Amino acid sequence: EDKVVQSPLSLVVHEGDTVTLNCSYEVTNFRSLLWYKQEKKAPTFLFMLTSSGIEKKSGRLSSILDKKELFSILNITATQTGDSAVYLCVKNTNAGKSTFGDGTTLTVKP
Amino acid sequence: EPEVTQTPSHQVTQMGQEVILRCVPISNHLYFYWYRQILGQKVEFLVSFYNNEISEKSEIFDDQFSVERPDGSNFTLKIRSTKLEDSAMYFCATLTGGSYNEQFFGPGTRLTVL
């Protein structure tokens, strides 16, 4: 069975801190690795990664994929209370199947 | 900015009834997905759809479920005979073709089976 493992499962930080969220996956039929932010509604797209070693950035968020070691990280610098959410890591296969991790619940305290 | 839309936002039905959940994908997106999220649990993949046919489906997507694009724009998920355990948030998502750069979720339909 395809597995996506995220760590930590939860994290509490203070505003201004930098956080690193981890995601490991199984190599079977890999096409892309996606990161989403989910608050009390639908997931919001953050990044899609297909190539190893190429960092994607959007403001204070960045992400990178290591296809050799089968993991990805999501970095958030200078965290704000609005970053509090569940961050989802998703692996998509060539055939079109998606496998979700359990998510990392990030709480940013003022 | 284009977005995925879903209707209805909330559907309440009796066990054993059929429901149809509707999604309007972003135009020019080629890949479509249905996911569900039971309250307090993680998002689960149901089915992916490309070129008017199912690409992949999960174990959850049994004979009670079906998908179609009835008119080339809407993308529907039908549950033939709902069960209590079908109560969940159902999300439609669409993916750009070509470079596969972005995948967007719709706002979801909350299905409550009584």
- Copy the structure tokens of residue A71: 């993991």
What is the residue type of B65?
F
Q: Best interface-test mutation with A: which of B42, B53, B58 has the largest number of A CBs within 10 A? A: B42
Q: Cα–Cα distance between A85 and A108 in angstroms, integer? A: 9
d(CA A104, CA A68): 23
Give the residue extent of every domain in chain A. 4-103
Those residues of chain A whose CB sits closer than 8 Å to some CB in chain B are 31-32, 34, 36, 38, 41-45, 48, 50, 88, 90, 92-93, 95-103
Q: Mind listing the pLDDT tens digit of every residue in chain A (110 residues)? A: 679 999 999 999 999 999 999 999 987 788 899 999 999 889 999 999 998 888 999 999 999 999 999 999 999 999 999 999 999 999 998 888 899 999 999 999 99
What is the CATH class of A4-103? mainly beta
According to the model, what pLDDT value does residue B30 have?
83
The confidence score (pLDDT) of residue B103 equals 86
- The verdict on domain B5-113 having CATH code 2.60.40.10 is yes
A85 φ, ψ (degrees, to nearest 5): 180, 180
**Token digits of residue A100:** 């979700």
Residue B28 gets the label, from left (phi > 0), alpha (psi -120 to 50) or beta, of left
Which residue(s) pair with A48 in the sheet? A34
DSSP single-letter state for residue A70: T
Q: Which residues of B touch A98 (CB under 8 A)?
A: 33, 35, 45, 48
| pLDDT profile of chain B (114 residues), mean per 10 | 90 97 89 94 93 91 92 90 96 78 90 97
B32 touches chain A (CB under 8 A): no
Contact status of B45 with chain A (Cβ, < 8 Å): yes
Tell whether B105 lies on the interface with A, counting CB pairs under 8 A. yes
By the 8 A CB rule, do A19 and A84 touch? no
Give the pLDDT of residue B100: 54
